[in-house]
Amino acid sequence: MNKSIKVFAPGSVSNVGCGFDILGFAIDGIGDEMVLSKNDSNKLHIKPIEGYDNLPTEPSKNVAGVAIQALLDDLGSNQGFDIEIKKNIKPGSGIGSSSASAAGAVVAANELLGKPYSREELVNFAMQGEIAASGDAHADNAAPTVLGGFCIVRAYDPLDVIQIESPKDLWCVVIHPQIEIKTKEARKLLSPKVDLKKAIRQWGNVAGLISGLHKSDYNLIGRSLEDHIVEKQRKVLIPEFDNLKQAALEAGALGCSISGSGPSVFALCEGEDKAKAVSSAMNEVFSKTTIPYFIYTSQVSNKGVRILE
């Protein structure tokens, strides 16, 4: 059995407009790299994190450490690991930074332990890392990061995740303004009450989106990419949100909304050409601000964490 393994953990877009806390998909353009090695100390040791050195390296405070510990506790193992993280996804970006580290960590640890768990079972442990990051164990980033494609979190207790392959021409544009929004804070903005009429429209959209994904019906996907509950409450945190959305839709995006808790904004598109047009329209809007930003354009990825070597 190998002593060491290197993995790539992709970024992800959660909520996907209408599916707050229950829907997410994996993206291809950006992700974290991690190397996990067994050690003989019975302890987790996180090396200084490449890319973002202000992240905690104490295992009980680090999302990767918390997620691996949850796996080890469930397995009844005291195996120690050295953990190296090369972070490419900025924390507080809205594209699943904490989930990438947590998911990469549990997939890598599981491999080195002889695969005692299935990928589906690993989502449970990856999700525990979110508690360290946002105070809540939501799985809408963790599930697609571990499994790839779109994931529905049908239920949390017990966790029931359904993975759906993405239609082959579904592309995603994500614009990532380089400001930080803490998920914990963005969750505090949300009213705990939902108006019944809005809820009816929202679950209609969730059903429509899932059906559209199954049938590769891009028009139905587009009609369903509407959020009547969360977007309005959170968009105040995102500079140029309304203009970005309008530009994306005018350039032919199927839909556009906040990625996770922001500040990233995503647009789904049919085909690469449309995605490039949407990317350039969003670029045009944001280039007028003084805020640095990145834009990623990629197919929705049907792969979750990948083993590199």
Residues at the site binding ligand HSE, with contacts judged by CB under 6 A: 14-15, 20-21, 138, 140-141, 183, 186-187, 260-261
Assess whether 183 carries a catalytic annotation.
yes
Q: Which is nearer to ligand HSE, 13 or 170 (CB)?
A: 13
Nearest approach, Cβ of 74 to ligand HSE (angstroms)? 24
Set 183, 231, 240, 297: catalytic member = 183
Tokens of 117: 């768990």
Q: Which is nearer to ligand HSE, 24 or 167 (CB)?
A: 24
Name which of 245, 289, 288, 290 is nearest 264 in CA terms.
245
Assess whether 130 carries a catalytic annotation.
yes
Q: Which is nearer to ligand HSE, 94 or 212 (CB)?
A: 94
Contact 294, 178 (CB under 8 A): yes
Nearest approach, Cβ of 180 to ligand HSE (angstroms)? 13
Nearest approach, Cβ of 246 to ligand HSE (angstroms)? 22
Nearest approach, Cβ of 48 to ligand HSE (angstroms)? 25
Q: Which is nearer to ligand HSE, 129 or 148 (CB)?
A: 129
Nearest approach, Cβ of 156 to ligand HSE (angstroms)? 12
Q: Which is nearer to ligand HSE, 2 or 233 (CB)?
A: 233
Full DSSP string of the chain: --SEEEEEEEEEEESTTT-TTTEEEEEEEEEEEEEEEEESSSSEEEPPPBS-TTS--STTTSHHHHHHHHHHHHHT---EEEEEEE--SPTTSSS-HHHHHHHHHHHHHHHHTT--S-HHHHHHHHHHHHHHHHSS---TTHHHHHH-SEEEEEEETTEEEEEEPPPTTEEEEEEEES----HHHHHHTS-S---HHHHHHHHHHHHHHHHHHHHT-HHHHHHH---SSSHHHHGGGSTTHHHHHHHHHHTT-SEEEE-TTSS-EEEEEESHHHHHHHHHHHHHHHTTSSS-EEEEEEEEES--SEE--
Question: Nearest residue to ligand HSE, using CB?
Answer: 260
Q: Which is nearer to ligand HSE, 33 or 140 (CB)?
A: 140
Nearest approach, Cβ of 96 to ligand HSE (angstroms)? 6
Count other C-beta atoms under 10 Å from residue 244's C-beta. 23
Set 50, 84, 111, 130: catalytic member = 130
Name which of 117, 142, 140 is nearest 127 in CA terms.
142
Active site residues: 130, 183
